[in-house]
Amino acid sequence: MSPVNFLPYLLSAASRDNILALTSCCNQACVFCSHRQNPPGVQSCRLPPLPLERVLEAAAFLSPGRRVVIGESATRLEEGEPFTHPKILEILRELRRLFPETLLALTTNGTLLSPIMLNELAALRPLELTVSLNSSTPANRRLLLGDQEPERALQAVSALADYGLPFHGSVVALPHLTGMDELLATIRFLAGHGALTTRLFLPGYTHLAPTELRFPAGLWEELLIVSKELTRELAMPVLPEPGLPVGLTPEIYGVMRGTAAESAGLLPGDVVSAVDGKTVRTRVEAFNLARKVANPLLSVRRAGRDLSVLLRKERQQSPGFVMHFDLDPLRLEAAEAKIRRARSRAPLLLTSRFGEASLRQAAGWFGLPDTAIQAAESLFFGGSIKAAGLLVVADLLTAAQAALSKQQHDLVLVPQEAFDHRGRDLTGVSLATLEEKLALPVRTA
């Protein structure tokens, strides 16, 4: 992997995504770690534990009105285990001083959440954890994670409720290695100890992945069914990722316990048609509007009946229901504005395989024909990779040339996730290179 200067990415992650990166160090050796599968030429940043002054420099770019995220992947920065940082408590105390009311959201593998640490975290609320547990059995924790003290994370999860710390779970699904029963037991373990939700990840792999990580055909369809069944059984949303929802109908996938949505009686399968009288077109729009305002009044369709449901909640507080991620109409409106400004009569919108179905369905809102949409294959990473953020200029060029061989276009829009703040892809190739090779204007959207 080619190293790059991390500071611009550190500040960009803070200002754009409210993500505060602390370190790339990790105390586990997960067999599915994506960093091991990157093809040569990928430019990424591996961070040492950052000094407090550097962390505070980035913290100045955070928005206090949004939750501060620590331990999640940010742009080119390789995420690590935040609790390996020797100054983690000092950093968290400084963040709480700077942002007294802001939710701190930390993703962790849970191995360093000792009783002393949990007591310290409880004093820093509002704070929530996402525990990447991945397995609840000692033998499989050693196999999958290289965890030589497998009881630590399990004991930490068991203790979170005692300290009043809300948490979510996450699990990478490898039933072809550990068995489906073990996967189900892990999700039930998380639910049994009070997880609000659990994300179930299909492990994406590149063409460099070892054979054992290449999941069998049909596994994802099986996991989609299992996730829905567990959501009903456990009264805890089990969210498969990628969710690949069918259509854009704003259907509630699950409801979190102890939330406004549960108190109001919302159920999985309910369809939200409007929020405070404003018609919603997609899941993203419905969720964002419901989160944004205090006490939103939802128009809900349930089994052929129309209901009005009042959610008693604060502004910017989660409504308590969860939906699959589909498409934000605001983003499509911004793309349409770029098309207008360019006076384009025949735009070409490149998208990922994951985003293709949603974009095709929504394109008609702006009078765009189906031929205006072209999905780009992830040829550089290969394997099962289909996300927009992992497309590179070479992939986009191949897709654009295929579309242009069938029809003329006068503007090309490409996914903004594929480019950094400098307009370069993961291999350092500029957006301008794509423009030059196509001899057409190219914009991100």
Q: Check whether the bond before 242 is cis (ω within 30° of 0).
A: yes
> Which residues have a Cβ under 8 Å from the Cβ of 213 and sit 6 or more positions away?
31, 32, 174, 203, 205
Tokens of 270: 């309910």
Output the pLDDT for position 36. 82
Could you say which residues of the chain have pLDDT below 50?
1-3
Output the pLDDT for position 2. 46
Output the pLDDT for position 114. 98
> What is 254-322's CATH topology?
Pdz3 Domain (2.30.42)
Q: Are 170 and 207 in contact (CB under 8 A)?
A: no
Domain boundaries defined on the chain: 2-241, 254-322, 329-444
Helix (H) or strand (E) holding 348: strand 347-351
Q: Are 199 and 168 in contact (CB under 8 A)?
A: yes
In percent, the amount of the chain with pLDDT more than 70 equals: 99
Output the pLDDT for position 426. 96
Output the pLDDT for position 171. 98
pTM (2 decimals)?
A: 0.93
Output the pLDDT for position 35. 81
Q: Which CATH superfamily is domain 2-241 in?
A: Aldolase class I (3.20.20.70)
CA nearest 138: which of 127, 147, 126? 147
